[in-house]
Amino acid sequence: MSEQTKKNKEIRMPHTYVIIFGVVIFCWLLTFLIPLGKFDTTKVTYTDASGKEKNKTVLVTTSFRYQYNLDAAKLQPKLQELSGNEAKLQELGIDKAALDAFLATSPADWNQDALDELGLSEPVLHSLYGSEIYDTNNKLKAQANVWGTDDYEGFGVLNYVFEGLVTGDKWGSAVGIVAFILVIGGAFGIIMRTGAVDAGIYSFINKVKGAEFLAIPLLFFIFSLGGAVFGMSEETIPFAMIVIPFVIAMGYDSLVGIAVTFVATQVGNAASWMNPFGVAVAQGIAGVPVLSGASFRIVMWIIFTAAAIAYLMTYANKIKKNPVSSIVYESDNYFRQRQAEVQADQVKFKLGHALVLLSVLAGVVWIVWGVTSELYYIPEIASQFFVIGLVAGIIGVIFKLNDMRVNDIASSFQRGAADLVGAALVVGMAKGILLVLGGSDAATPTVLNTILHSVGNALQGLPATVTAVFMYAFQTVFNFFVTSNSGQAALTMPILAPLSDLVGVSRQIAVLTYQLGSGFADAIVPTSASLMGVLGVARIDWTRWAKWQIKMQGFLFVLGIVFIVIAVLIGLN
């Protein structure tokens, strides 16, 4: 194939925004076909990895029902009967006078909002009468409008970007993640402006000539350990800003840089024996002792990490021999040009550079301590990185690194944040997909709940090993819609755990299928905020990344199946 043909083929690859828009429209069309479903929810108490009791709201598997219109004619005699049962009224906490006043109104005017005011919420009515009081001839469907907002004519598909961006809070997607990405980008814009990272990279490479290839497996191991121990994910975005130019300077490409940072953490997440946000939550919800099965998982983590390193080194060595063969060779020119400028200026590693890097290292230690000991999360980590960037800027001004002045701190923060605006937008767009489907709340009638219930039913009756593998495959696909580890656990573990009882595999294996499925897939799905943030740092379009990563995902998926089969055969419990 000629170079021109290759270029033309690359030009035809759809942009990440185009892909997400296509997914949004596809999900919208699904809402015309799939009826709404919901579950009752309950709070479960479990012990986390530190021995503390935690609560989590989860769905009740047996409570699934489709959404129907209320049939007032069927409900009226039921409520009249209830009005005469004072013991039941007292048990439900319903005021008899208020109920009698309601019964005196026309049934044609009755609706669920009025019943809610009486204390007869939909879950209460369902527990009393099941589906007897509904028009079960018509399963309801609901679609977003073509255009609109939540407070004006209802959510509209064509407003998925804005509505997606403003969802959530500072602790999660999308508002928190977007702010996190922009602050991190700004902070590292300051750090990069000092020139300390570039000077440090060249100083390191010059001192370890011939042995730099050891950096790849070492970095992969460290980040995989971070994923396994404390669920490292979003935290890799700032580290990628340093690692990517570092590996490119050694003769590799940005794909290798992403793999040794973000992909490594997801390998650690997937095979973790103690991740407090993943396996620990899933085990607590499934009723499995937290941190049980650790010996099996530690062996699994070692093998997965070693196998992933071997896979990556095979690719990295190929790129080292022929850098032009990389599918991101052209986009990596941005980093090579910067490095060429550094070489042209003959930057020496000075005291100021050392102080900047030491301040960054001290900040990283501060962050690791905060995450593991104080449970710091997105707001705190963003604030910590801002402080790190500010300190680096002050050092840069004092030592006149790259002729830095005070105003350069502000301008470099602005440029750094601007570089990641594209990644931040993707976070909101990806959240828009979930909004089109109605959200991920188990207690709210949505298409996603119906899909969840249908898959659970479809898996029943299969052989134990086959069911376990299908549970793994389902969890991998489900990760596209809900990328939060703890969020997935709350939605899927209440279904997977009892399903494992029915087919004769332990709940420990159900947890295993959950963690493998929810871990690896984060490294490829465009709905992963962390992935899109790292891709933004690397200046790589998602389509190029997916083209390369899909093979590694296939490799890890097959290895995951092997471990699931082994777990079934040895009766992991």
The rounded distance, in Å, linking the Cα atoms of 456 and 503 is 12
Which DSSP letter does residue 49 get? Answer: T
pLDDT for residue 423:
82
- Please say whether the beta carbons of 55 and 43 come within 8 A: yes
* Alpha-carbon torsion (554, 555, 561, 567), positive or negative: negative
The distance from CA 524 to its chain's CA centroid, rounded to whole angstroms, is 11
- Choose the most confident range, by mean pLDDT, from 108-112, 403-407, 501-505: 403-407
The rounded distance, in Å, linking the Cα atoms of 327 and 93 is 65
Q: Which residue has the tokens 């004006």?
A: 152
- Residue 11, pLDDT > 50, answer no
- Please say whether the beta carbons of 294 and 555 come within 8 A: no
| Angle 437-479-287 from CA coordinates, rounded to 5° | 105
Q: Which residue has the tokens 């990344």?
A: 545
The rounded distance, in Å, linking the Cα atoms of 56 and 446 is 20
The rounded distance, in Å, linking the Cα atoms of 444 and 449 is 8
162, 492, 229, 563 alpha-carbon torsion, rounded to 10°: -130
The distance from CA 358 to its chain's CA centroid, rounded to whole angstroms, is 31
The rounded distance, in Å, linking the Cα atoms of 13 and 415 is 28
pLDDT in tens, 34-77: 999 999 999 888 776 566 787 888 888 889 999 999 999 999 99
- Please say whether the beta carbons of 185 and 412 come within 8 A: no
pLDDT for residue 56:
83
- Please say whether the beta carbons of 509 and 75 come within 8 A: no
pLDDT in tens, 346-362: 468 899 999 999 999 99
Q: pTM (2 decimals)?
A: 0.82
pLDDT for residue 525:
92
**Residue 290: strand, helix, or coil:** coil
Query: Which of residues 559 and 211 earns the better pLDDT score?
Result: 559
Exposure pattern of 147-176 as b/e (b: 16+ CB <10 Å)? ebeeeeeebbbebbbebbbebbeeebbbbb
Cα–Cα distances in Å, from 141 out to 32, 36, 436, 477?
A: 7, 5, 13, 23
pLDDT for residue 562:
97
The mean pLDDT of 152-179, rounded to a whole number, is 90
- Residue 26, pLDDT > 80, answer yes
Region of poorest pLDDT, from 166-175, 309-318, 463-472? 166-175
Q: Which residue has the tokens 């961006």?
A: 165
The mean pLDDT of 104-129, rounded to a whole number, is 92
The mean pLDDT of 275-303, rounded to a whole number, is 89
Nearest to 23 by CA among 526, 473, 425: 526
Query: Which of residues 173 and 301 earns the better pLDDT score?
Result: 301
- Please say whether the beta carbons of 263 and 530 come within 8 A: no
Query: How are beta strands 69-70 and 134-135 bridged, if at all?
Result: antiparallel
Query: CB neighbours of 140 closer than 8 A, spacing ≥ 6?
Result: 35, 36, 66, 67, 68, 69, 445
Which DSSP letter does residue 70 get? Answer: E
- pLDDT band, residue 508 (cuts 50/70/90): very high
Using only C-alpha atoms, what is the Rg of the chain?
Answer: 27
Query: Which of residues 554 and 237 earns the better pLDDT score?
Result: 554
- Please say whether the beta carbons of 59 and 41 come within 8 A: yes
Which DSSP letter does residue 252 get? Answer: -
Nearest to 389 by CA among 416, 371, 352, 421: 416
pLDDT for residue 8:
42
Count CB-CB contacts under 10 A for residue 90. Answer: 10
- Residue 456, pLDDT > 80, answer yes
Half-sphere exposure of 269 (CA within 13 A, CB side): 27
- Residue 5, pLDDT > 70, answer no
Query: How are beta strands 37-38 and 41-47 bridged, if at all?
Result: unpaired
Region of poorest pLDDT, from 196-205, 237-246, 435-444? 196-205
pLDDT for residue 12:
61
Query: Which of residues 342 and 332 earns the better pLDDT score?
Result: 332
Which stretches does DSSP call E strand in 245-394? none
pLDDT for residue 342:
65
